[in-house]
Amino acid sequence: MAKRPQLLLLDEPVASLDPLARREFLTALMDAVAVDALSVVLSSHLIADLERSCDYLVLLFSAEVRLDGDIDDLLASHRLLIGPRKRVTPGGGIAAVVRESHSARESTLLVRTDGPIADPNWSVHEVDLEELVLAYMGEERNPRLHPVPARLEANG
């Protein structure tokens, strides 16, 4: 960072650091971004670190872009629904079901929303980034529920 580059590409830069060193590194990196208008592409498996230090997420799984977008927008457009056991299809504020599980009496759904949830039987909860990432990494779901921008599709 001493040479003040315009772009840094970092592959798992904090993987072998202890929590304190990880925090110090990410703080220094965020300071450089703010002061020098530095752009950073960072790969990591440490989702909590990404939530604190990144603005934009591209989730790759099995060589596919499963999810991408501004992190705040992604979190705002997804909800966890808990309610009576039933199958759900898009509509009534639900754009797509990302993950679902069912017990004898209850259904739990992680959904992408396109408005307020219309069904009052659902208890609606916010999701965190880790919950969202894990849901989109699920093998049994359709990997293209979230539209992939043309710029990413063109690059494969």
> What is the number of other CB atoms lying within 10 angstroms of the CB of residue 140?
6
Residues 6+ apart with CB under 8 A from 55: 70, 71, 72
What digits encode the pLDDT tens for the residues 72-92?
Answer: 999 999 999 999 998 888 999
Task: Please give the C-alpha separations between residue 142 and each of 3, 58, 99, 110, 139, in angstroms, as whole numbers.
Answer: 43, 17, 10, 13, 8
What digits encode the pLDDT tens for the residues 34-74?
Answer: 888 888 998 888 888 888 888 999 998 888 899 999 999 99
Question: In the structure, what pLDDT confidence band is assigned to residue 139 with cuts at 50, 70 and 90?
Answer: low
What pTM value is reported for the model? Answer: 0.79
